[in-house]
Amino acid sequence: MIELSRKIIELIENARNYVAKKAEYGTRLLNKVSNDLVQRLGKGYSVDNLENMRRVYIAYKEQFIISENGSRILTNRLNSENGSRKLPSDFLTWSHYLFLSRMANVEERRFYEIESLAGNWGIKELKRQFNSGLYERLALSRNTEKVKELASKGQIVETPTDMLKEPYILEFLGWEEKHEYSETDLETAIINQIEKFMLELGKGFFYGGRQVRFSFDEEHFRVDLVFYNRLLKCFVLFDLKIGKLTHQDLGQMQMYVNYYDRFEKTETENPTIGIILCKNKNDAMVEITLPKDNNQIYAAKYQTILPSKEALKSILNSYE
């Protein structure tokens, strides 16, 4: 038994030495290639850059094609994969690909690649959406088949639930340490960052106004934020709540939605959507308050700090 243990240990040590020698050889080879390329072609071929090129190639080797002059070029081939869906460009920048290549989850990487192209995201927008866990937040509100669609088609907005996120992330307000604020403060801060808020809302949104007033029976009412979504072809109303969500809040939103359906929307437009953004909500109370076939009124949480991607992935894995 002792002799067998000794041999096993020797085998392990030999394996470690072999791996170390291979790594040392690889490092020397990479340094040599880097020096040769710098001498022949100039700057831009440091060891770090060559490692980055290798990482991108490994991540996207299935998408490399042979060009007419025999060189390999990177193409997305997304138009053929997504059927009739047209994208504004076939290429992202090197910075995009470098960032995307670091994503271990292939389906998540494909989602961000598609959305970056479709939304014409700069690298700053891509990093923000990734850091806010957009893929996980959308996946949490979808069944298994819909999650698969995220990786193959990106976010497709065909129904009200397709645009919902849980939670909405408002870290761009810069309120990491702001513990006390009013609903008016929140509304004003959102308006001051309206472009970033619309980026968080997603596709197809147009801003319609804040504190939009309507009246009937000599009473005046105001909707916190009014938007229109061209993909869903409907008004989308937002009510902001910083306290505990109540059934009265849901009833108020139902009244707002009814008014817009009866007096604002045209016959060619779809029913109005009402979303209450709140710090906290009781799902059971929301479910019992709204009709079983509800597809117009929704309550969604928001938070003013970036979520932990690890926590979101853990929740997503538990659902799967």
Q: Which of 81-90, 99-108, 132-141 has the highest mean pLDDT?
A: 99-108
Structure confidence by residue, pLDDT tens digits, 197-229: 999 999 999 999 999 999 988 899 999 999 999
Higher pLDDT, 50 or 254: 254
Rounded mean pLDDT of 71-98? 59
Rounded mean pLDDT of 119-133? 92
Nearest in space to 106 (alpha carbons), one of 60, 174, 138, 170: 60
Rounded to whole angstroms, the Cα distance separating 39 from 28 reads 17
Rounded to whole angstroms, the Cα distance separating 267 from 55 reads 53
Could you tell me the domains of the chain? 168-309 (3.40.1350.10)
Rounded mean pLDDT of 133-145? 81
What is the predicted pLDDT for the residue at 16? Answer: 59
Rounded to whole angstroms, the Cα distance separating 148 from 139 reads 9
SS3 (DSSP) at 229: strand
Higher pLDDT, 224 or 40: 224
pTM, two decimal places: 0.77
What is the predicted pLDDT for the residue at 172? Answer: 93
Structure confidence by residue, pLDDT tens digits, 160-196: 999 998 889 999 998 876 678 999 999 999 999 999 9
Angle in degrees, CA 214, 220, 224, rounded to 5: 60
Question: Mean pLDDT for the chain?
Answer: 82
Walk across the sheet containing 205-216 and list its strands: 168-169, 297-303, 273-280, 234-244, 219-229, 205-216
Q: Above 60 in pLDDT, residue 87?
A: no
Phi-psi region of 133 (alpha: psi -120 to 50; beta: other; left: phi over 0): left
Q: Above 60 in pLDDT, residue 319?
A: no
Q: Above 60 in pLDDT, residue 231?
A: yes
